[in-house]
Each structure stands twice: as C-alpha cells, then as structure tokens.
Amino acid sequence: MTKTVWTEQAPLVLASASATRRVMLEETGLPIEIIPATIDERAVDQPLREKGASASVCALALAHAKAQAVSALHPGRIILGADQILDCDGIMLDKVPDRASAERQLAFLAGKTHRLTSAAAIIRDGEIVFDAVTEARLTMRALDSAAIALYADHAGQMLTASVGCYAIEGLGAHLFERVEGDHFTVRGLPLLPLLAGFRMQGWIRL
C-alpha cells in the first residue's frame, strides 16, 4: 500500500509524539506529519475524574483537547488527536516516572483484568469532524516480585513509555494470559473506526 490512498494534498497531522501511533497510521499508507499538542492533560481530565466520569469520557476529552490545540495553529489541516486510558478496579492509571513506580504499578495489575480505552478525534478549523472510542480488556498473569524485576531489567524505556508499563507487541506479551479486543486499541488508536471515518469523508480511496 502506498501514500496514494490519501486523497488530501496535505498530510494528516498527528497531534501526538507517539511513535507507535505514527507507525500504525503509516502502515495503512497514510502520510503523517507530527505536531505534538502542548496541553496540561491533568487540567483537562482531572475535573472529569473528580466528577466520576468514565475512562471513555476522559480519553475522548483529552483527544479533543489535543486536536483543538493543534488545529488552532494550523488552519485548514486535518488534525488527529488521540489518547489512551487504563482503568483497573475503577482506578485510572497514568504513565509513571521511573522504574520503582513501574514495578508498583505492574504489581497492582498482576493477576487482574484491566481495560484500555483508546480515543481519537478528528478536527479541522476547530470543528469536530468525527471521533471514535474503542476498548480492550487485558488479563495479566499472576506475577511475583522476582518476575516483575526480571521484566523491568529487560524492558528499559518501555516501563515509562506507556500507561501500563508494557508494550504488548514486544516483551510485554510475556505478562499476559488473555486479551479481548483488537490490537490497534491496545496499541493506542481506534484505528478501524478511524479509517471508516476517513472513508466517509472521502479522504482515503480504499
């Protein structure tokens, strides 16, 4: 597949520095320009969390905020904002700053089923064109402290690069016993609904 599947003259703008999201989109033949949004994410979703909003609501609000921030600076461009939230036992988890925090988070997730919610919003000239939210449920193996430490030894930057402290398409696959949902959602994008939206707008030929 080549970039000719995209009908617009300018590339799709991804309002995220996520290498995983960029790869997913480029693998479908879409031309991508990276312009990361600079927003205070906690200022967006913390009030929603305090009101008891669901992970879907929070993820979608963050996706909208990111896309709006970039759209304000790039008129006429098609902007994709995206976010992913992990919810376990009713607790929404965020990325961690260091290995010690990652090991604690993995210990909390071990032996449980958690939910990953991936959201995307497409905005052009400040107007919402469409958005999408998908969910996946992942059951992590029961892991003792030695197993978690061994994983951390090998995981390196993966520990702080994703909300769950794992990249399931790589070493993180060892941590799981079951995954329910598509792998695009797990990796951080509701890709299939996103592509369907692009087709409805006439932005892709396939």
Asked if the structure places residue 206 within a domain, the reply is no
**83 noted as active-site residue:** yes
d(CA 42, CA 153): 30
d(CA 62, CA 55): 11
Question: What is the reported pLDDT for 200?
Answer: 97
Question: What is the reported pLDDT for 1?
Answer: 42
Q: What residues have CB less than 8 Å from 194, skipping those under 6 apart?
A: 80, 120, 122, 132
- Chain centre to alpha carbon of residue 83: 4
Asked if the structure places residue 183 within a domain, the reply is yes
Q: What residues have CB less than 8 Å from 115, skipping those under 6 apart?
A: 55, 86, 87, 88, 135, 136, 137, 138
Asked if the structure places residue 17 within a domain, the reply is yes
Which among 83, 89, 98, 125 is annotated as catalytic?
Answer: 83
Question: What is the reported pLDDT for 157?
Answer: 87
Asked if the structure places residue 39 within a domain, the reply is yes
Domain that holds residue 30: 3-201
Sign for the pseudo-dihedral over CA of 41, 39, 159, 162 = positive
Q: What residues have CB less than 8 Å from 177, skipping those under 6 apart?
A: 139, 140, 141
Number of domains into which the chain is organized: 1
Question: What is the reported pLDDT for 144?
Answer: 96
Supply the CATH number for residue 152's domain: 3.90.950.10
Q: Over the chain (206 residues), what is each successive 10-residue block's mean pLDDT?
A: 79 94 95 96 93 95 98 97 95 92 96 97 97 98 96 91 88 95 94 98 95
Question: What is the reported pLDDT for 2?
Answer: 47
Question: What is the reported pLDDT for 16?
Answer: 92
